[in-house]
Structure 1
Amino acid sequence: MTGPTDPALDPLKARIAEAQLGAEAEERGKVIAIADGLATVDGLPGAELNEIVTFSTGGRGFVLTLEENHINVACLDPADDVSAGTRVVRTGQLASVPIGEGVLGRVLDPLGRPLDKGPVPDSTERLPVERPAPSIIDRDFVSEPVETGLLVVDALFAIGRGQRELIVGERQTGKTSIAVDTIINQANSDIISIYVAIGQRTSAVRHVIDAVREHGRMERTIFIVAEASAEPGLQWLAPFSATSIAEWFRDRGQHVLIVYDDLTKHAATHRELALLSRQPPGREAYPGDIFYLHARLLERASKLSKARGGGSLTALPIAEIEAGNLSAYIPTNLISISDGQIVTSQSLFAANQRPAIDIGLSVSRVGGKAQWGTMKSVSGRLRLDYAQYLEMKLFSRFGGFGDDAMTARMKRGERIAALLAQPRLSPLDLLTQIALLSALNEGLLDDVDVEEIARLKTALPSIFAADSAFSELDLTTAKLDEDTQSAILEAVQTALKHA
């Protein structure tokens, strides 16, 4: 005989009926040593590389290396409570990052956790941080430019969509500024930008975010931040996580620009973790796989074929050198992996020539193949003329030039230097760049004071914006027709009168 049932127990009975009863296997290990964010764990023979594990204290880590009798786990959370004997459990999941439209405009850590006081990204899909690079058959030629808004780059060292262009130089020479200006210039383009901060100061990252929020399009930019105080495991994962996010957009036919700031600190983090895990040190104490580390990262940048959607992923890795030593280990590795380098100069920066790009050491191995035809037609002799000016300027310290031709070249070089000088956060559109170079080639700037050129660059965009005929120009053609060229030069003369 049964008594009356209590309706309040019905939900509990339903949950009991749905419960999956039975044996459940769980692979556990324990920490045998931990130091500086790297734990040595015993007892997880089935663990995989990059697999997420959890500590009994609540923190997480990922499997960095597999040894014969133990594994090394890089901590992803503060490990102050982790000690020898702490229990470790496998999750069976590889390190991954949330992807999708929901990450646009966000500031996240390498695991997708919000750092901007916003909600967790609304995404049910995740991608592993380590993914294979596209095969050769899936790639296409790099043929379209990424317009940086910097005249010296767009005219002399054009960057193509799908290219890997290294930005290298000493500290405090404007490397990050070049990358940030490029991100800001995408405000009116179809390119999504991702900025990856690896071991940077919190204040420096904040300045970059504020600059993009004020001058660019925050809703088309993603920030992946592993600052200097973050765990080494997070700093190690940061560029790989950001690249997986970028690949999701690229594989859907979109175009992405990613900035790694910087890979020198990433290499130092890899060296730190490698030495803690007792890997054999090589040159400058870096492990033997340091080249492979960055090669497999940067190889993921590519321009996909039309059959794969035609999307692109352009990479701008940043590297720091000391005392102008471009032949240091990490910079030479990155130079050999990338498709060119933009080298910043301490002396040019000190002389207030900014962007402080050394045109003699900088090169783009894609260059003209990704440059619009109109830009190529007006920038042909610019690099040679400027290089000659810099050499003549060096020798002019020992005395003046009596030759009128030499004096004219010096005068022209001064105007080229003024054209290439550009303040931060003030990108120039393609039409303005072409107009300035056309005016230089036609001699319209020969008698203009150097100080007036800066005002000319400010006045030109408003003149072009006021005339609807200029907005209809096709600037991808091989060369402008005579009528269009005359109209552009007339606009320059108008701007000179008002400058």
Structure 2
Amino acid sequence: MTNQLLEFAEQLSDVREHLTATPRSIREGKLKRVSGIVLEVEGLPLSIGSSATIVSQAGDLSFDAECIGFNGGITYLMPLDQVEGIAPGALVYPASTPVDYGGGYTTKEAIKPLPIGEALLGRVVDGLGRPIDGKGDASQNITRQRRTILNPLDRTPIHEPLDTGIRAVNGLLTVGRGQRVGIFAGSGVGKSVLLGMLARNCVADVIVIGLVGERGREVREFCEETLGPESFRRAVVVAAPADASPLARSKGGSYATDVATWFRDQGKHVVLIVDSLTRYAMALREIGLSLGEAPVARGYPPSVFARMPELVERVGNGANPDGSITAFYTVLLEGDDTNDPVADTARGILDGHFFLSRELADSGHYPAIDIEKSISRVMPKVSSREHLMSARRVKQLYSRYMRGRD
């Protein structure tokens, strides 16, 4: 009798474990329509930023997507990768729902936090935190964090200069630790040259590089040639090239900022390089227009000009006086037009701007910084009076020379 009771208890325990692993209910929606890069799903309400999985009717294909909006009973999703082989009626599951793909139930978090931590140093990841350098998983022993808004009164004032290793910058456009600088340039004027000089020569504990929307071939070149082995060991490269989805490109800029803020909060001095802020804005434009937002300035919807300050304001100095983020954002000037809406917005939210001169670049002068048009707004706070007077005198003499030459 006792053996029978023990056997029954074991069977009951097995049944209990099976019931625990089995979902009580499975929420699912159906793909109703695909409009450009937006997937319209009915029957599955989701919150903004929540992850979802789209499964083909045959069950042989699945894709990850993210909720970017909703209207009535329709939820708008945007895929994180290219979507092929999906037909109307495909099932869509929230990522928090256990779903059986044939090998048992798997569960994902509703809003996926991205990997952040020391293990990312010397690694190249995409805008979703997935390693693309062939060195294995980068998520082991990595802290995951949520974004928080920093109280402006908690920020440590900028009072210390940053040695960029570039004499033209150190002498005439001195940058402070925690400053945010825009590098404004048209095509072919030495933007990559200046970024490489900054990445190699800046005195910093960690370098975070966000390559957003640029050519894919430049990623390897930047890691191997521009950075070099010594600088690469203390760098984290987030690559979201031009062929990535708009959502992945926008996440690339945000993720690079997340990584930089984590290291800052650990007391590290960080240099953040984002190439480029314009491509980030273009990715946001694609998302906004796909959702039906009205274009207000050269095709850019209003949400773009709300998200740009949101990204930039997360960097700089934090509450910990031992850490800082000095950020350099490249801004592309189409046709060398300085009144481009993205460039105009960037000038207003950054702490300084370096304009690159096509004339100097054509003459072989690098870095091709136009010191007349460029400014560092924190230079008076981090430089001595003698330094400021000397820099002002050099600018005056240079300006007179440029105006008086034939």
Per the shorter chain, which TM-score range?
0.7 to 0.9
Of the three residues 333, 337, 351, the one matched with 1:339 is 351
Match for residue 193 of structure 2 among 170, 173, 177: 177
The separation in 1 between residues aligned to 2:178 and 2:232, in whole angstroms, is 22
Give the aligned partner of residue 143 of structure 1. Answer: 159
Distance 1:303 1:270 in 2: 26
Q: After superposition, where does 1:343-354 map in structure 2 within 5 Å?
A: 343-354=355-366
Please list the CA deviations of residues 242-278 of structure 1 after superposition, one character each: whole Å capped at 9, or x if unmatched. 1111111111211211111111111112111211221
Instruction: Measure, in 2, the Cα distance between the counterparts of 1:263 and 1:13.
Output: 59
Aligned to 1:90: 94
Q: Secondary structure at the match of 1:204?
A: helix
Cα displacement string for residues 14-64 of structure 1 (whole angstroms, at most 9, x for unaligned residues) = 76553343652332222222244321222222x111111111132111112
CA distance in 2, matches of 1:242, 1:98: 11
1:261 corresponds to which residue? 275
User: In the alignment, is the contact (CA less than 8 A) between 1:96 and 1:241 conserved in 2?
Assistant: no
Deviations 1:427-482 (CA, angstroms, capped at 9, x unpaired): xxxxxxxxxxxxxxxxxxxxxxxxxxxxxxxxxxxxxxxxxxxxxxxxxxxxxxxx
Shift of residue 379, structure 1, vs aligned partner: 6.1
Alignment of structure 1 residues 340-379 onto 2, 5 Å: 340-371=352-383, 373=384, 377-378=386-387
Find the aligned partners of 1:73 and 1:66 in 2 and give their Cα distance: 9
Taking the aligned partners of 2:249 and 2:150, their CA distance within structure 1 comes to 24
Give the deviation of 1:389 after TM superposition: 3.4
1:55-113 superposed Cα distances (whole Å, 9 cap, x missing partner): 11321111122333322212112211233322111124224210111111100012211
Equivalent residue for 1:66? 70
**Offset of residue 299 of structure 1:** 0.4
User: Percent of counterpart pairs with the same letter?
Assistant: 27
Alignment of 1:112-151 (within 5 A): 112-121=129-138, 122-128=140-146, 131-151=147-167
* Alignment TM-score, normalising by the size of structure 2: 0.87
1:393: how far off? Answer: 4.7
Distance 1:342 1:194 in 2: 20
Structure 1 distance, partners of 2:380, 2:267, is 24
The answer to whether the aligner puts 1:207 opposite 2:221 as a matched pair is yes
| Whole-angstrom distance in 2 between the partners of 1:215 and 1:95 | 32
Determine whether 1:325 maps to 2:337. Answer: yes
Query: Does the CA-based 8 Å contact 1:96-1:111 persist in structure 2?
Result: no
- The structure with the largest alpha-carbon Rg is 1
Cα RMSD (Å) of the superposition?
2.6
Q: Which residue of 2 aligns with 1:39?
A: 39
| Equivalent residue, structure 2, for 1:288 | 302
For residues 159 and 172 of structure 2, the distance between their equivalents in structure 1, rounded to whole angstroms, comes to 16
Residue in 2 aligned with 1:409?
Answer: none
Rounded Cα–Cα distance in structure 2 between residues aligned with 1:81 and 1:15: 39
Q: Whole-Å Cα distance in 2 between the matches of residues 13 and 179 of structure 1? A: 65
In structure 2, do the counterparts of structure 1 residues 387 and 348 end up closer, same or farther at CA, with 3 Å as the change threshold?
Answer: farther
The answer on whether the counterparts of 1:168 and 1:342 sit within 8 Å (CA) in structure 2 is yes
Does 2:260 correspond to 1:246? yes
Structure number with the higher helix fraction is 1
Aligned residue identity for 1:44? L
- Aligned residue for 2:273, secondary structure, equals strand
Aligned counterparts of 2:284 and 2:231: Cα–Cα separation in 1: 33
Q: How does 1:408-427 map to 2 (within 5 A)?
A: none
**What SS does structure 1 have at the residue aligned with 2:282?**
helix
Give the SS at the match of 1:258: strand
Closer/same/farther in 2, CA of residues 393 and 294 from structure 1, 3 Å limit: closer
Shift, 1:336, TM fit: 0.6
Q: Secondary structure at the match of 2:335?
A: coil
SS of match in other structure, 1:303? coil
Asked whether the 8 Å contact 2:193–2:366 carries over to 1, the reply is: no
Given that 2:120 and 2:236 are in contact with CA atoms closer than 8 Å, whether structure 1 keeps it comes out as: yes
CA distance in 2 between counterparts of 1:145 and 1:40 reads 50
1:195 aligns with 2:209: yes
Give, in whole Å, the separation in 2 of the partners of 1:15 and 1:377: 80
* Closer, same or farther: CA 100–229 of 1 in aligned 2, 3 Å: same
Q: Indicate the SS of the match to 1:358.
A: coil
> Unpaired runs of 5+ in structure 1?
5-10, 398-499
CA contact (8 A) 2:204 2:271 kept: no
Instruction: Evaluate the alpha carbon distance shift between residue 259 and residue 253 of structure 1 in structure 2; reply closer, same or farther with a 3 A threshold.
Output: same
Return the match for 2:250 from 236, 242, 263: 236
In the alignment, does 2:293 pair up with 1:276?
no
Query: Are 2:31 and 2:40, in contact at CA under 8 Å, matched by a contact in 1?
Result: yes
How far 1:319 sits from its partner (Å)?
0.7
Residue in structure 1 matched with residue 404 of structure 2 by the alignment: 395
State the Cα distance separating 1:240 from its structure 2 match: 0.7
Matched-pair contact (CA < 8 Å) for 2:372–2:399:
no
Maintained 8 Å contact 1:170/1:321: yes
- 1: distance between equivalents of 2:405 and 2:204? 46
Q: Distance in 1 between matches of 2:279 and 2:267?
A: 32
Give TM-score scaled by structure 1 length: 0.71
Q: Find the residue that maps to 2:389 and give its secondary structure.
A: coil
Offset at 1:3?
11
Contact 2:270–2:326 (Cα < 8 Å) also in 1:
yes
What amino acid maps onto 1:33 in structure 2? R
- Structure 2: distance between partners of 1:84 and 1:383: 66
More strand by share: 2
Deviations 1:259-303 (A, max 9, x none): 111111111121112112212221112111211111100000121
1:176 to partner: Cα distance:
2.9
The alignment of Structure 1 onto Structure 2 pairs a total of residues equal to 383
